Amino acid sequence: MPVITAARATLVDIPVESVRTDAIQAFLKQETIVVDLTTDDGTPGRGYAYTIGTGGRAVLAMLREHLLPAIIGEDIRRPERVWRHTLSQTRATSIGAITSLALAAIDTAVWDARCRHAGEPLWRLAGGAEPEVRLYDTEGGWLHIDTDTLVQNVMAARAGGWHGSKIKVGSASARRDEERLHAVRDAVGPDYPIMVDANQSLSLADARALARVLEPIGITWLEEPLPSDDVTAHARLTESTGIPIAVGESLYSVGQFAEYLTRGAATIVQPDVARVGGITPWLKIAHLAETLNTPVCPHFLMELHVSLVAAVPNGRIVEFIPQLRAITRTDLPVTGGRVVAPEEPGIGIDWDEDAMDDLRVA
């Protein structure tokens, strides 16, 4: 029985690969919380979670002081058992971002070890629905980018075979957002998918007004239009527009996704494996969405999400935002806007140990 005999957590700060801004924040750095497991049969496991600039040391402290000691002796073949046992140590602090990030780093490490022990890649052991995954581009659509450059970026993405581009909205001037979107649609034509992301910056009235502007432009989805805890407003918005409403990057539990879905407040879900507490709850969210005929289009973490979208039948597309290249040896092999999920046993990330040592801060 391969049980955990040692566990450690470290913090690695990765500089952002490009300037990234939206309506409410900027991506300052990726605080990468890494958990390494050792088992009695020698099987390693590595998992990680992240922040975009703050809170990483709080996650690290929770892991070191509370959670890692609790998983010694646990069987890596039983991720459900390990996840529930770990959650039971955090009743006073869950559900919440710091706890979910800590749980995710452990859970992903357990899955990595489980897959390595079984000699299988994550995408197959987690479900094995379809190995090839489509990608869309976000890097060319950040809010600070001027309109001419934005159009050039989206045109380049279309020419490169990408299956869509995301454009950030929520400018001080709603007219600027409208002009940018019209310029992009006019340039790429009617068929290229355009996703729009407001990053929780709008009121219900503003979101309805934006939806009226977006409808004739032809939008694949409107993402995070409203504060994530306002499920009622999302439901009202969904009822008032034919544009698909996407939520998930700011939700931290299976129950929160269940409320959105059962109340008709979202038509696309975007779970982030780090923010929902790991692979184990991510799969629950995906299967819940499947029962309600809802697609999964996860947020960020493409290096993990390619395998998870490949695992489930309602996985639709993955967001291309590369952010691990500073601490990995190989890139995802993207061809024509598609990628085949990694076949190596484990979660499929080729870590560069020397680079991680250089960027380790705790």
Active site residues: 168, 299
Gap between the Cα atoms of 334 and 221, Å rounded: 24
Residue closest to 305 by CA, chosen among 333, 282, 330, 336? 282
- 222 pairs with which residues across the strands? 196, 245
* Contact present, 9 and 105 (Cβ < 8 Å): yes
Eight-state DSSP code of residue 252: -
269: helix, coil or strand? strand
| Whether residue 14 has a cis bond before it, omega within 30° of 0 | no
> Which residue in this structure is represented by tokens 């049980």?
3
* Contact present, 248 and 270 (Cβ < 8 Å): yes
* Contact present, 108 and 279 (Cβ < 8 Å): yes
Gap between the Cα atoms of 5 and 351, Å rounded: 22
| Two tokens, residue 40 | 């009695």
CA dihedral angle for residue 320, residue 352, residue 32, residue 41, rounded to 10 degrees: 110
* Contact present, 180 and 214 (Cβ < 8 Å): no
| Two tokens, residue 218 | 């032809």
Handedness of CA 128, 131, 134, 135 (dihedral sign): positive
| Two tokens, residue 333 | 């092999």
